[in-house]
Amino acid sequence: MRRLDPRLYQIGALMLLLVYGIVALEFDVTFVRAVLLLATAIATQAVGARLGGVSFDPRSAAISGLSLSLLLRSDSLILLLAGAVIAVGSKFVVRIRGKHVFNPTNVAIVVLMLMTDRVWVSPGQWGNVAFFGFLITCIGGLVVNRAARSDVTYAFIVAWSALVIGCSLWVGEPLTIPFHRLESGALLLFTFFMISDPKTTPDSRAGRMLFAALVAIGGWYINYRLFRTNGILWSLAGMAVLVPIIDVLLPAARYYWNDAVVSSPRPHVLIPSPQH
């Protein structure tokens, strides 16, 4: 029996988080803006599909629109909508060997933060309520399991936790400090909904382990050595350019959404299918 597309689970989970964020946590985004972001992302997908001559599928674009609503903040609606266009547009424009390079949401955020100081990401918006972290973990866990790429998530959690806890132990901080850092909703969202994107992570399991570790090290360095915020977002965008190299060094079968089975003995096929 064919499994339900994992993206539908993800869309449901992101919607739930968005409603919870707006209603209970007073996220700095309105429902109207969220809908506009969603519509812009899907419209960009439609235009891209038409220009690229591929069939239109709004699901991934919906995920990008929802993710941007959860993460990207600005006074300017135009900049937010530009984020949606960049996110979805990047899938059609920035491709290596038929595979898009960047996680759409991630690259949109990074590009906008580089271009203007009028956008920002609020990693503190989720608070550190254990219950909420647990909730996201459960929902996110479901999503990644369905997407059959849980390994990258678990590898990242292990690497990140080791760095954060190890650093605190090294400087002699009480364990409440690293635990507080790990209880971050923003971190969980990144771990379960962004780095887990099967389309932009390396094809092989070993490659994904390596990739997750590199993202964790980069993010940790930016956060706790350079003392800049959103280290993991910057790191993911930076490390994404290494994915094609990792895929060459550690080749394996490409992931296809509709198959939802990655371990099948599919040969390494390069199909320009920018409909993700």
Contacts with another protein, residue ranges (CB under 8 A): 25-26, 28, 73-75, 116-120, 122-129, 170-174, 176-177, 179-181, 184, 226-229
| Cβ atoms of residues 152 and 196 within 8 Å | yes
Q: How far is the CB of 229 from another protein (least distance, A)?
A: 5
Cβ-based nearer residue to another protein, 63 or 119? 119
Cβ-based nearer residue to another protein, 46 or 177? 177
Cβ-based nearer residue to another protein, 53 or 117? 117
Q: How far is the CB of 113 from another protein (least distance, A)?
A: 10
Give the helix/strand (H/E) hosting 102.
none
Cβ-based nearer residue to another protein, 176 or 264? 176
In the three-class reduction of DSSP (H, G, I as helix; E, B as strand; rest coil), residue 183 is classed as coil
Q: How far is the CB of 206 from another protein (least distance, A)?
A: 33
Give the helix/strand (H/E) hosting 73.
strand 72-74
- 234: exposed, middle or buried (C-beta count within 10 Å: 0-12, 13-18, 19+)? buried
Distance, in Å, from the CA atom of 12 to the CA atom of 50, rounded to the nearest integer, reads 27
Q: How far is the CB of 272 from another protein (least distance, A)?
A: 37
Cβ-based nearer residue to another protein, 119 or 143? 119
Cα angle for residues 102, 106, 110 (degrees, 5° grid): 105
Q: How far is the CB of 181 from another protein (least distance, A)?
A: 7
Where do we find the tokens 């901080």? 173
